[in-house]
Every structure is written in structure tokens, then in C-alpha cells.
Structure 1
Amino acid sequence: MDSAVGTDGLLKLLEYYYKLGFRGFLVSGGFNADGYLPLGSEHLSTLREFKRGKEVFLSVHSGLMPRELLDRAMEVFDLVDFEVPPSDRYVKEGRGLRRTCGDYLSLLSYVVNEYGEDRVAPHVVIGSSLSTAEEDLNIVEEVGRVTSRLVVLLVAMGSTPPEVSRVVAPFEVARRYFKEVALGCMRPRSLGKVFEELVLEGYVDRVVNPSRRLMGELPAELYGSCCSLPVASLGTFRLGLGQGRGLG
């Protein structure tokens, strides 16, 4: 991920990658003390200027943006990649915020109701030492009651990976609630075989950086994009068909 200083730097960076052929851009950065990306009107104007006349896809890590700012951001961005924490303890100790999971669910519900499911992709962290197995399952269910398009599951990284059961169970629950389940980019490599089995058993529809084994076993469409994009927007980023041997 590249950084940009000021609006001029942001525009130059976007134009640079656009000329190289890139058509999708994720805007992220450090959140403020209130837990959101502090985009100013000058940033949104720059992004709007860059987007004008181009077929590009812009997404954002918003955090807990105030609704007024989020509404203005939604005029520019095509998608919000929205983290939903697994527990209040995770919010307090992991994010340093005096907020609750309910605050995140409330904002997620607002985006879905005002802009539709295709405009937001919830990312749920599982297996954290700051949440329990029960809390992991509960938050997946809670998110599934708000939106059913897609969920991105992220597995907590640490010196000791979570137990296999803590990883598998949330995917089983997600399969019941969501049309598509994505295995996100944050996951411990030591559990690679567990993730492969989840995919092969049908609990996962999208995988970031699939293993060689999966590429060999499963014929699948390959895309050069974030795993959270709605189906209607994926065509621009299609790379081709991975030639797997199949499972029969």
C-alpha cells in the first residue's frame, strides 16, 4: 500500500497507477481517535476529480465515520470495506475506542438501508484473543441479520494461531447466512491446510491469494481485485480461468 501526502500527492499517485493500467483503488490510512478515516472535503473533491470520466472502482476503509461524513463519502466511493469487531473488549483494547460492537452494527445497518447491500462489505475478525468463540459466532450471525450479500472473514494473527475449531465454526455459521463467504487476506499461514479444506468443502466462495493446491484442485475465475467487490463490478478485473483438475 502506497501513501500520499496532501491532495496533490493523492491525485498524482492515483493518476500514476491509472496510467499503469490499474482500475481499482482502496483508500485507507490511519484512523483518528474516534475510530474513523478523517477524510476532508478537499480529499473527496480530489477523488471526485480523479474519478470523473474514468471507469474506475473506489473503495474505502471508513471506520466509524459520522453519518454526515459517510453520506458525502458515498457520493464518491463505490464500496465501503467495513470492519465489524467481534467483541466490545476487542473494540476497547484492540482499537482503543470507547465504543461497542453495537455502534458498528448500527452503522452497517444504516449503509445497507440507505445505499444497498452492494455498497458495503462487512469484514469480521475471528479467532482473536480479545474475543471468545461464542462472541465470534454471535457477531457473524448479527452481521448476517443485517446483510446477506457477502461477508469477509479475517483470522486474527498472533504468535499462537487460534484453535482449529475457532476458525472452522464461524465459516459454518456464515455459510447459512450469506450468499458468498470470502476468506480475506489476514490469516495465519500456519493454518493453510485448514483454510484449504474449508474451500474444498464448500464453506468459502472467494479466496485472497489461493494456495497452489487450490489452484490445482478447483477450476475458478481469477480476479485482480479485492475480494469484497460486488459481482456486477468484477468483470473489469477478470484475469481468466484457473485450470484446476476438478474434484471428481
Structure 2
Amino acid sequence: MKTFEEMEGYIREGHHSFLISGGLNGVGEIPYTDALLKKLGFLKRKYDLQYNFHIGFPLNFVHDFRDIADVVSFDFFSDSETMKKIYGIDRDPLQQIEVMRSLGAFSVPHITIGIDCGKITHEYKSIEILSRYFDSIVLNVFIPTFGTTYESCNPPPVDEVTAIFEYAKKLFKVVALGCMQPRGSYRSILQGELEDIVDVIVKPVNKSGDHFRGCCAFLLKQISQGVMKYV
């Protein structure tokens, strides 16, 4: 967690885009206060900043983000049982989408492939549902994390992950491999399989070509709106 003083230090160093996030409360929301949003709005106007907001899984319209969020990123589950298993909360998939569309900001859905201990569960259905409402998507890949219930699980097989990306590319204008990817040889192999499929690869192993600094959601917005060509 960074303070506003630390944030202004990053601004002085030349950073002008920020991911605004935090921990979920007991009902699955990130509890942004009016005072916090007011301060962020002040800094945005003063320094011409860009914000990518994570907002968790709100049940209802929480804030009007159109004047402060350049992008809103959200995780999506088409299977409420999988979501309950992972986060301990239950949401109707279409309600999730309606809340995001009500926020007034450009929204980018995220799916973590293999989030249920490396198994493929809701991913294909989630992609199909999201494609009815959005033209860009970020696909991450499950990483076993020490100290969690799934620390001993393995990432999903690369061929299964690749197949999901191929399916997504048939339905979405812009598809990105997001920042969550297993390290080492897995990452190298996966990126090699995806380089001719996806439009954006975050944390590329081969760093030749164009580079974009900032959350990939900002780049997806620019590509979707025709401001920047595909990379």
C-alpha cells in the first residue's frame, strides 16, 4: 500500500499512470471512500494522471467513475460455484457485467486461466459471455502462491492455455496475455505459443519491438479506440 506522499514521489520521477487497488472487504468490494476518490481526483487534475481502478465484485453501483477512472479492470467468473470456492462470495455473472457497465468508464474484463488449482473450469463460458458486451479482454494464467490453499497446485498445461487464447481471439477484437504468468521455462514456452495469436504480451521474454509502460488495460483501451496500432 502506497501513501499519497509516495505517489507524488513517483510522479516527480516521471510516472503518470497508476493502478488503484486494495483488499476486498467481507462482501467482496474494495471500499473506496469519497475522501480517497476526492484526493485521487485532485492529483489527477493537477498532474494529468491516468488511473486503472480495480473495484472487486460490487453488488450494486458504487461510485460514478467516469470523471476519475480512465479504465476499470475487473475479474470475471461465469460459474458462481467456482467464484465462491476461490473468494468465498457468490455473484450472478450477468449482475457483475451490469454493475461494470453502469460505472461510466472503459472496462476491461480479466480471467485467470486455471484459477481453480490449475484446472480449466469456467473459462470458455466466461469468454463467450463477456464477448457479448466487451471487445477487449485480458487473460492471466494461474500461479501457485506460497502460503495459500493452492500452493502445491501446478499451472494449467500450456496446450490447454493456448487453446483458450485461440478461442478468445475468435470472439474479441483485442486479446492480451496479462501480467500474471508462471515464471521460467513455462513463461518462455507459453509466450512462444501465443506470439502469433494475441495482440499484447505483458512481461515479454523477448523484448524486441515496441514497448508500452503502464498497465496493459490502458493499452487495450488505446487499441480498442484506434489510438494505437496493435503491438
Q: TM-score range by the shorter chain?
A: 0.7 to 0.9
Q: Is the 8 A contact 1:85 1:125 kept in 2?
A: no
1:205-235: per-residue Cα shift (whole Å, max 9, x none)?
Answer: 11111003xx35xxx310111111121799x
Q: Say which one has the larger Rg.
A: 1
4+ residue stretches of structure 1 with deviation over 4 A?
Answer: none
Partner in structure 1 of residue 217 of structure 2 = 228
- Matched residue, 1:153: 139
Match of 2:80 in 1: 88
**CA distance in 2: counterparts of 1:132 and 1:105, whole angstroms:** 24
- List per-residue Cα deviations over 1:152-179 (Å, max 9, x = no partner): 0011122312123321121011111111
Aligned partner of residue 228 in structure 1, secondary structure: helix
Q: Which runs of 5+ in 2 are unaligned?
A: 145-152
- In the other structure, the counterpart of 2:43 is 50
2 CA distance for matches of 1:128 and 1:107?
23
Secondary structure (helix, strand or coil) at the match of 2:131 reads: helix
Question: 5 Å matches for 1:30-179?
Answer: 30-71=23-64, 73-85=65-77, 87-111=79-103, 114-115=104-105, 119-129=106-116, 133=120, 135-148=122-135, 150-158=136-144, 159-179=153-173
CA distance in 2, matches of 1:42, 1:108: 22
**Greater RCO (Cα-Cα under 8 Å, separation 6 or more):** 2
Offset, 1:68: 3.8
Cα deviation 1:49-102 (Å, max 9, x = unaligned): 11123221011111123544232x332111101111353222101111022333
Q: Give distance in 2, aligned partners of 1:132 and 1:100.
A: 22
Once the two structures are TM-superposed, the CA of residue 105 in structure 1 deviates from its matched residue by 2.8
Is 1:14 equivalent to 2:14 in the alignment? no
- Once residues 59 and 26 of structure 2 are traced to their aligned partners in structure 1, the CA distance between those partners, rounded to angstroms, is 13
Q: Report percent identity of matched pairs.
A: 27
Tell me how many residue pairs correspond in the alignment. 216
Residue type of the alignment partner of 1:128:
I
**What is the distance in 1 between the residues matched to 2:178 and 2:102?**
24
Contact 1:126 1:136 in 2 (8 A): yes
Q: Which runs of 5+ in 1 are unaligned?
A: 5-9, 243-248
Letter in 1 for 2:159: S
Aligned equivalent of 1:7 = none
Please tell me the root mean square deviation across aligned C-alpha atoms, in Å: 2.6
Closer/same/farther in 2, CA of residues 166 and 199 from structure 1, 3 Å limit: closer
Please state which structure has a larger fraction of its residues in helix: 1
Local SS of the residue matching 2:122: helix
Partners of 2:85 and 2:176 lie apart in 1 by 26
